[in-house]
Amino acid sequence: MLVHPWDSAEDEEWRTWLGERDFGQLIAGGRGRDLPIVVPTHFVFDGERTVWLHLARPNPVWQALTEHPRALLTVIDDYTYVRSDWNAGPGTPVEHGVPTSYYATAQLACDVRIVDDPVEKAEILNRQLGHFEPGSARLPVSAEDDPDRRHLPGIRGIELTVTEVRAKFKYGGNKEAGHRREIAARLEERGSRADIAARGHLLRRV
């Protein structure tokens, strides 16, 4: 991923943004493969350097992770299309404007530990339940009691240790502040969910 200096994100910025998100794509390259395995998945991030998730045992990702226990977790959100006439800079005729995309993304390079111990798998599931279902009536997952004891063999857990992060907040950082505010006004007027989120990043980074 190309990250220009004006699009790069400080640790606090991407950590705060990622801490509010919990769905992305796990990408496992394996070894000697034509294409990587890509798995859309929920996850839980501890805010520092550890991510947990679980997947079904028949998932094809396991062989790739066994071949090479490294993976990329990528998350993208707050994306929107910026029209060519909006993006035309001062002095540029709108008919010659060039459209662009605004988006935020974090790509986490990770060491992978596959979790098969039933107690550890139950801990991962309980961590996820605590995140996704706070106050849920669901009992804690148990590695010893049915029905959980019978269900746990059908999944495997993953613990990701983050070793490197490439984060990009592409919101017109190379443009003059006045032009960025004009684009922000256009996004507010168009008003989709993605437009409003992108507008927030755009103004915050002016």
Supply the Cα-derived Rg of the chain in whole angstroms.
21
Topology annotation, domain 5-174: Pnp Oxidase; Chain A (2.30.110)
Report residues of the chain scoring pLDDT below 50. Answer: none
The predicted pLDDT at position 90 comes to 86
Cβ(55)–Cβ(47) below 8 Å: no
100-115 and 155-170 strand pairing: antiparallel
CA nearest 8: which of 163, 201, 167? 167
The predicted pLDDT at position 105 comes to 98
Longest dimension (CA), the chain: 71
The predicted pLDDT at position 92 comes to 87
The predicted pLDDT at position 91 comes to 83
23-28 and 50-56 strand pairing: unpaired
The predicted pLDDT at position 46 comes to 96
Q: In this structure, what token pair is assigned to residue 124?
A: 């991962």
pLDDT in tens, 169-198: 999 999 999 999 999 999 999 999 999 999
Q: In this structure, what token pair is assigned to residue 33?
A: 């493969």
Q: What is the pTM of this model?
A: 0.93
